[in-house]
Amino acid sequence: MPEQSPTRFTMVPARRSSEPTARRRARRILGALFLAAGLSVVATVVALAKGSTKPDLSSVDPQGRDLAYTAAVNFLAGTRQNVPHAESFKPETAVNQTADGRSTPLDYRSLSWVGFSPQHFGSEKLGYTDFEVHHFLVVLGSPGEQPSQTPKASSGAPSGRPSTQPGGRPATAPSGQTSVPGTAGSPSASSTVSPQTGPPVSASPTATATATASGGAEAAAPASNVLQLDVPVLLDPKGPLLAASPSLSVWKNGVGKVGGRADYTNFSGLTTQVGNATKNQILRWAGAYSTGDSAGLLAVTGDQNDSHRYAGLSGFSLADSPQAVQILSAIKSGNGQVIVRVRILLARAAPAGTVPGQNGADQRFTTFADFDLLVGATGAQPPVLAWGPAGSAAELEPYYNAFTN
């Protein structure tokens, strides 16, 4: 009898699963496959979404910004575009002048650069053409008012750069735009503010938003005196060139949208009332700040550091009006302090030698300005420790405005 090979294996039949068990295992395998397929689809969608987001252009300096600003000024002045331009654009055909070569400029109050949009048009096969479309906010003058001074057209770079807000799109609320002041009564004479003789403090602003029946603020139509001006610039290897005539459109960003709380009253648990002692100190601060009274500002802050000094505005005063100082809101802060939103009515100081009511002295520039004040909440004379523009409360700290001698 031959000897068995040591490498010979004895085959044992595998145990077969029962039909219910086999079905359960099959369902698990199919479920795992479907889950993997679903996750791959989700991953693909996420990757596409991330790839389609617009790039952050906050650090990008547009090449044609100065040229676009000059072209915008020329356009509003109704004059021929005398800036470097593309060969396909004929400036002489894009201006409407009378027979004697004159044109009527558009009356506007301000022109502000608010952003740009890069455009990359073409294909790999045909090549690409690069543009920058620069966006400007134009505030028109009101009918019947005296025309304001507008920049003159120039072929060179503007002497003062337009307001800056880098970005790929027009800002929702353009940064650095020239505000349009409203006249709030002509001040007859400036007044020295003190708790006894100064204008009274109004507990609330004179103008409030119109509310709908549902409690929300009513959205208004786009303002008819606000326009968007778009200037297309061709990016050529030799430098930026005006690609075509600028165009006007309705300004949609930030117009007619009312919502949100910007006076800190959304922190409902922190709102508080302002006492008379604090009101008197705010009056002193408003009078000193508006007239540039350094000694008065030092006194109202209570700063005991001999090397500190304070500075206010120069060439302004507090308007002689019942609404000259308004307390809009107040919330509690740390260390027993209070953050107060204050509105003051500033008036441009009258030129020397003018008499109220004569020589146009009653037509001085006046405007409301809003501030955040950090005020100590204790004592007979709570100190106004710091101040800044509305919205700056987070960075205010005691003696924040001090200069060191």
Residue 142 banded pLDDT, cuts 50, 70, 90: confident
Give me the amino acid identity at 301.
Answer: T
Can you read off the two tokens belonging to residue 27? 């369902």
Q: Residue 53 pLDDT > 70, yes or no?
A: no
Instruction: Say yes or no to pLDDT of 197 above 50.
Output: no
Q: For position 157, what pLDDT does the model report?
A: 39
Q: What are phi and psi of 144, to 5 degrees?
A: 90, -10
**The two structure tokens encoding residue 256:** 């007619």
Mean pLDDT in residue range 304-333? 93
Provide the percentage of residues in the chain whose pLDDT is more than 90: 41
Q: What is the pLDDT confidence band of residue 397, given thresholds at 50, 70 and 90?
A: very high
Q: What is the DSSP string of 84-109?
A: -B-TT--GGGS----TTS--PPP-EE
Segment 58-71, tens digit of pLDDT: 667 899 999 999 99
Cα–Cα distance measured from residue 138 to residue 258, given in angstroms and rounded to the nearest whole number:
21
pLDDT in tens, 287-300: 999 999 999 999 99
Helices (H), 247-342: 276-291, 294-301
Angle at alpha carbon of residue 294, lines to 300 and 263, rounded to 5°: 55
Higher-pLDDT residue of 97 and 287 is 287
User: Which sequence spans correspond to the domains of the chain?
Assistant: 65-93+104-181+221-250, 268-404
HSE-up of residue 224 (Cα within 13 Å, Cβ side): 2
* pLDDT score at 263: 83
Taking only the tens place, the pLDDT of each residue in 343-382 is 999 998 877 766 655 554 457 889 999 999 999 977 889 9
CA dihedral 396, 399, 402, 405 (to 10 degrees): -150
Beta-bridge partner residues of 119: 131
Question: CB neighbours (10 Å) of residue 283?
Answer: 25
Q: Give me the pLDDT at residue 40, please.
A: 67
pLDDT tens digit string along 212-257? 333 344 445 566 788 999 999 999 999 999 999 999 888 877 656 6
140 contacts: CB under 8 Å, gap ≥ 6: 106, 107, 108, 109, 225, 226, 227
CATH of domain 268-404: 3.10.450
Residue 379 contacts residue 338 (beta carbons within 8 Å): no
Query: How far, in Å, CA of 250 to CA of 224, rounded?
Result: 8
The reported pLDDT for the residue numbered 382 is 94
Question: Are residues 134 and 230 in contact, defined by beta-carbon separation less than 8 angstroms?
Answer: yes
